[in-house]
Amino acid sequence: MTNRTVTVSIKRYNPETDKKPYWQDFQVELTAETTLLSALEDIKSDQDGSLTFRRSCRHAICGSCAMMVNRANMLVCDLPLEKVLDKNDRVTVEPLPYQPVIRDLVADQSSFWKQYERVKPWLVPPEGEHQREFRMTPEEVKALEHAEMCIMCGACYSSCPIIAGNKEYIGPHALLKAFMRVLDPRDTIPEERLDIVCNTEGAYRCHKVLNCTQACPKGLDPAKAIAVLANLGFRTGKISQERMERLRSLIPADEIPVKAAGD
C-alpha cells in the first residue's frame, strides 16, 4: 500500500450553534498503520480542535468509540482506515443513530443505560454465599462466556429498528445481559428477571431483524439470546426449582442457604 491522501467525511452538529447536521470533508494521510480513530485524532489535533468524539482504551475493550461508518455501526479504534474506504478513497462517519446527538460524533446514550439498569445487570447470589467460593462446572462457565464478552459499546442498541421509534424497548444489550443472569446458576432471581424482560417492552417485542447480531463488534449473538429469553418466559416457575435441585447436588443439604433460589 502506498501512502496517499484520503477523505474522511464527518457528520458535524453542534446543537448550540447549528440549525441542523451537515457534512464536512477532511483530507488525511493514509499509512499502513492508520485506523479510523487515529485519523479522527489527527483531524482534531491538526485541522479542527472542535471535532468531538468518544474514545478511551484504543484496544476494542472499553466500548467508547462505536460510531456509524459507511452506514454500519462499528468500533473505530481497531478499524484500519483502508478497509472502509470506497473506490473514491472516501469514508463517511456519523454518530450512533436513533439517539439525540450531544455534539458531532457523540450520541446521548441515556436511554441505553436506563434500559440496562432496568434488567438489574448485577448478580444476586444466595444469601450467605458471599463468604465462600461460587461453584460452577466448566460447562456452565462456557455457556456464559458468550454473553460475558459484551463491552457495552451500544452498536447493537442503535442498529435496532425498534429503538428508532420506541425508547421503552429494553434493547438487545440489556436483554443479552438479562439472558446471562437468567442462565447463571449462581443467580437467585431468574423468575423476577423473566418478569422484567418477557413482555412487549422486552423479548416479545423483538422483530428478529438480526441487526443487533450483525452489528456486534465482538461477534456476539443478542438476537439468539432474546429468542432464548422469550422461550424461557413460558417456563417461569420451573427454573427456580431446577436451580434448587442443582444447588442440592453441589452443596450438602444442611449448608444450603435459607433463602436460596426458589424461596
Which residues make up the interface to ligand FES (CB under 6 A)?
Answer: 55-58, 60-65, 75, 77
Which residues are CB-neighbours of 76 under 8 A, at least 6 positions away?
Answer: 35, 36, 37, 40, 55, 65, 66, 67, 69, 93
Q: Kindly report the three-state secondary structure assignment for every residue of 2-57.
A: CCEEEEEEEEECCCCCCCCCEEEEEEEEECCCCEHHHHHHHHHHHCCCCCCCCCCC
By beta-carbon proximity to ligand FES, the closer residue of 155 and 229 is: 155
**Bridge-partner residues for 22, per DSSP?**
12
CB of 205 to ligand FES, least distance (A): 28
By beta-carbon proximity to ligand FES, the closer residue of 11 and 55 is: 55
HSE-up of 26 (CA within 13 Å, CB side)?
Answer: 22
CA dist., res. 98 & res. 162, Å (int): 9
Of the candidates 27, 32, 29, 28, the residue with the CA atom closest to the CA atom of residue 1: 32
CB of 77 to ligand FES, least distance (A): 3
Antiparallel, parallel or unpaired: β 90-94 and 4-12: parallel
CB of 66 to ligand FES, least distance (A): 7
By beta-carbon proximity to ligand FES, the closer residue of 156 and 183 is: 156
CB of 33 to ligand FES, least distance (A): 16
By beta-carbon proximity to ligand FES, the closer residue of 70 and 236 is: 70
- The edge-to-edge listing of strands for the beta sheet with 66-69 is 22-30, 4-12, 90-94, 66-69, 72-75
Longest dimension (CA), the chain: 72
By beta-carbon proximity to ligand FES, the closer residue of 78 and 82 is: 78
CB of 90 to ligand FES, least distance (A): 22
CB of 152 to ligand FES, least distance (A): 10
By beta-carbon proximity to ligand FES, the closer residue of 64 and 188 is: 64
